Copies of this chain bind each other. A is one copy, B any other.
Amino acid sequence: MQETPKGSRLHIAIFGRRNAGKSSLINALTNQDIALVSNVPGTTTDPVYKAMEILPIGPVMIIDTAGIDDIGDLGALRVERTMQVLNKTDLAIIVIEPELGLTAFEEQLAGEIKKRGLPVAGVINKWDLTPVPADVIENWSQSLALPLLNISAKTGQGIEELKRVMIKLAPDNWEGPPVIGDLVSPGDTVVLVVPIDLAAPKGRLILPQVQTIRDLLDNDACAVVVKERELKEALEGLKQAPRMVVTDSQEFMKVGADTPPGVQLTSFSILMARHKGDLETLVTGAKAIESLEPGDKVLISEGCTHHRQADDIGRVKIPRWLRQSVGGELDFEWFSGGSFPPNLAQYKLIVHCGACMLNRREMLYRLAMAREAGVPIVNYGLLIAHVHGILHRALAPFPLAQMILDE
């Protein structure tokens, strides 16, 4: 079975001092013996991402933090790692160890979580072993400005109540707009153009393609999946023109030529830009390409360290297109992985990958960072469409974004 994609899972980060029982809590929440449970402090040595199903919340990604919490207050490295986890957290749980009690660690953490406006549940674990007097709980609760729940991960006491609290706290809008479901009507046919090149690992489709097919099925529509070379034949085989054609960005030119003018055309990148982030911000970023000048610094930000092809899009193609567009050299920098580099304001443009490995929360966080630094940000797909002069057409399903582009 293929799993629910990471981006479609509510990200729940579990914080707590060593030996507070984070792993036991994960087991209790999921009824599974997946996390390694041990009473030796520090069993877990790195934040671990665990795709799970918590009924009735559904598919979640549990972030089992560790290392972060071993001394009690937040040193520089621990602060950074905590921040990186919080950047992708939809819902936080703070687990208090009753014998250690409330420490600077929990207080700083709760403060940071509240500052970000993230929903958070506080629990005191080990209720069965070390019950905490009511007045002490009251004190702790006031210090954290957070109601606290007594639980025992070991016996299961309080776990159902915690789940109810989590369901209440889970943000309604964490998933963002649909991939494509709101753009089609039942019975519609949508043609998806999926090139198979060297970058497409064998035996699979990439996630945005799978998500688009699934969202069409969920909305009673039909997906016609075809390579760019067979597109024309596939369109001719349909009695009626399709509602829309969605293509991989890199085939925009060819697909645009083969798609009848009356048919809406867009790309997986644009669909995902809306689903995962904020299409309007990225369109504004695409427009900023026009203001780039030779010598400007451009950050190319990759969400993961993927296997690079010889003709890699982020390393080779995009720099080439941007140089052509600007008519001169640009000063490119690349940055991969967990965050943005410091000194964001030095760049004139940020070009972000499709963010298939990032969840919506993290993508929104990155967009906000760019906005704060006053740097326009665009993603690969919108950039490709724009430098090829096809972005206006590709935004037809999204009138607001199209207006921003045409301003």
Contact = CB atoms under 8 A, between A and B. Distances in A.
Contacts of A215: 203
Q: How many monomers of this chain does the complex have?
A: 2
A53 B3 contact: no
Nearest to A227: B217
B237 A226 contact: no
Nearest to A223: B225
A310 to B, nearest CB: 12
Given A1-B206, A204-B4, A205-B2, A222 B213 contact: no
Given A220-B229, A223-B225, 11 more contacts: A8-B202, A8-B203, A187-B233, A189-B234, A194-B217, A196-B218, A204-B210, A220-B227, A222-B226, A238-B238, A239-B239
B239 A237 contact: yes
A262 interface: no
Interface in A84-121: none
A172 B189 CA distance: 40
A50 to B, nearest CB: 14
A230 B237 contact: no
Among the interface residues A1, A203, A204, A240, which one has the most CB atoms of the partner chain B within 10 A? A203
Contacts of A304: 1
Given A217-B194, A222-B224, A224-B224, A230 B187 contact: yes
Closest 4 CB pairs of A and B: A8-B203, A223-B225, A222-B226, A4-B201
Among the interface residues A1, A224, A238, which one has the most CB atoms of the partner chain B within 10 A? A1
A3 B6 CA distance: 13
A139 to B, nearest CB: 41
Contact of A2 (B58, B210, B222, B238): B210
A59 interface: yes
B223 A214 contact: no
Contacts of A12: none
